[in-house]
Amino acid sequence: MSAYANNVLEMLKGKYPWEKEYIQSVSEVFKSITPVLDSNREYQSNRILEQLVEPDRSISFRVPWKDDQGRVQVNTGHRVQFNNVLGPYKGGLRFHSSVTLSIIKCLGFEQIFKNALTGLRIGGGKGGSDFNPRGKSDNEIMNFCQSFMLELSRHIGATIDVPAGDIGVGGREIGYLFGMYRRMNKSFEGVLTGKGIAWGGSYLRPEATGYGVVYFAEEMLKNIDDNMDGKVVTVSGFGNVSWGVVKKVNELGGKVITLSGPDGFIHDPDGVTGEKVDYMLKLRLSGNDVVKDYADRFKVKFYPGERPWDIPCDIAFPCATQNELELDDAKNLVKNKVKYLVEGANLPVTLEGMEFLENADIIYGPAKACNAGGVACSCFEMAQNANFMNWTEDEVDNKLHQVMKHIHDQCYEASAEFNKKGNYVFGANVAGFRRVADAMMDQGLS
Ligand code: NDP
Ligand code: 2IT
């Protein structure tokens, strides 16, 4: 790491020592960008890194709501508006018991570079709450969403900050949030993405993250004259992103043999196909969050408390959550001769795991490049809303394909420029950083 980046990182560790996840995401980017900092000293003289690591603003707020027994419950909400030099703040909302400000800052920092890689006009932000949707009724989820929006609505707007879904936030939650915003502001505007198709949503937004992950994988494979046909694939998670990945891998002739949840993983050697794919949606909406149900229903093996990274495969797609693939998991994958690792979840691999994989003989696609299809499609939704129009499914799919190819090519070219051909982790960080940092310099101290 360059001395400049290291100094900024040490400053950050001293200032926010408790924000472990946030510091992890900054370290990951800073490790890559040394050659860029060395090639252009203006980044340092303009103190670009110091400016980048401090969000434009972070908002934390109380969210009181009533459960079905009439008891008062209190959660904490956050929205971190990180950087808007490229466009309105844009990024998802996460509802999960593990949410802290550090996790939201970590995801928000990633989002800046991910959004920059899309080439579209979107800045970086992220939000969420420690509200746990597991086991909650629809009514409780609505009560919570309405109370959350009561405060959030003061800070967002169609050209200011446009939240969307993430873990625990899908079409149902976006509906409740949007309804409350519309009522409070008397305004029907594209202030959230991931909306229902009948009220301003875009075709393919639910599928877009997973499809985009597979389109990126396809480009990586194509680059070395390979393709998806016949590939054995392991997937973790069972939510929105995993579902999109499974659908697209099946379409391209691959076979997905695992899914996972917080309770363990299932191994389905015949492949997750047909009604099993639809069942994933039911599981996600059941609020149960246990993939054991899948094993019971389809009579496949369930491994309680374990992760799927010991199962031999050609391609691994971690699509559940951060730090779900540790050094030992990475070693197991390599021992079993995995050829590609493509990240669907944000920061799914620990720093130690990443370092090992970067030096192993595999092709590794990082989240900020691979899973950008979701936010790209969100930006398409904003464009459609601004014009009061709907594009067709084919139009959206073609544009998604183009964006993913564009991201792939940028990462590959940046890796080649610095003699690290095919190192997509490096290429993504460098290409994303340069787009943001150059726009910051163009716009001066602001
Ligand atoms: P979903 O809520 O649809 O699904 C995620 C599911 O994974 C949750 O139900 C969660 O269960 C489960 N899960 C949590 N921890 C683990 C674990 N350790 N092992 C296995 N499963 C676990 O979320 P998404 O599919 O939307 O998000 C998945 C990942 O993809 C996240 O990292 C997210 O940030 C990322 N992502 C999402 C995008 C989107 O558009 N939705 C876009 C880009 C990235 P439980 O709640 O019980 O823990
Ligand atoms: O991590 C992500 O990119 C998302 N959760 C999607 C963000 C968005 O605004 O669509």
Catalytic, out of 90, 114, 126, 248: 126
Its pTM stands at 0.95
CATH fold of 56-197, please? Rossmann fold (3.40.50)
Q: Would you call 126 a catalytic residue per the annotation?
A: yes
Pocket of ligand 2 contains residue 166 by CB under 6 Å: yes
Ligand 2 in reach of 92 Cβ (< 6 A): yes
Judge if 56-197 and 206-370 fold alike in CATH terms. Answer: yes
Contact residues of ligand 1, CB 6 A cut-off = 92, 96, 134, 165-168, 170, 209, 236-237, 239-241, 260-262, 284, 289, 319-321, 324, 344-346, 371, 374
Q: Is 117 in the pocket of ligand 2 (CB under 6 A)?
A: no
- What is the mean pLDDT for each group of 10 consecutive residues in the chain (446 residues)? 96 97 96 94 97 98 98 98 98 97 98 98 98 94 98 98 96 97 96 97 97 98 97 96 98 98 96 96 79 95 97 98 95 98 96 92 97 98 97 98 98 97 96 98 93
Cβ(91) – ligand 2 distance below 6 Å? yes
Three-class secondary structure assignment of the chain:
CCHHHHHHHHHHHHHCCCCHHHHHHHHHHHHHCHHHHHHCCHHHHCCHHHHHHCCCEEEEEEEEEECCCCCEEEEEEEEEEEECCCCCEEEEEEECCCCCHHHHHHHHHHHHHHHHHCCCCCEEEEEEECCCCCCCCHHHHHHHHHHHHHHHCCCCECCCEEEECECCECHHHHHHHHHHHHHHHCCCCCCCCCCCHHHCCCCCHHHHHHHHHHHHHHHHHHHCCCCCCCCEEEECCCCHHHHHHHHHHHHCCCEEEEEEECCEEEECCCCCCCHHHHHHHHHHHHCCCCCHHHHHHHCCEEEECCCHHHCCCCEEECCCCCCCECHHHHHHHHHCCCCEEECCCCCCECHHHHHHHHCCCCEEECHHHHCCHHHHHHHHHHHHHHCCCCCCHHHHHHHHHHHHHHHHHHHHHHHHHCCCCCCHHHHHHHHHHHHHHHHHHHHCCC
Instruction: Choose the residue to mutate in 371, 396, 403 for probing ligand 2, maximizing ligand atoms within 8 Å of C-beta.
Output: 371
Check: CB of residue 128 under 8 Å from CB of residue 77: yes
**Spans of all domains in the chain:** 56-197, 206-370
CB-ligand 2 contact for 260 (6 Å cutoff) = no
From atom 3 of ligand 2, which residue's Cα is the shortest distance away?
375
Identify the residue whose C-alpha is closest to ligand 1 atom 20. Answer: 261
- In the reported structure, the alpha carbon of residue 164 is separated from the centroid of ligand 2 by a whole-number distance in angstroms of 6
Q: What per-residue confidence (pLDDT) applies to 289?
A: 66
Q: Which CATH class is domain 206-370?
A: alpha beta
In eight-state DSSP terms, residue 392 is -
Which ligand 1 atom is at minimum distance from the Cα of 367?
44
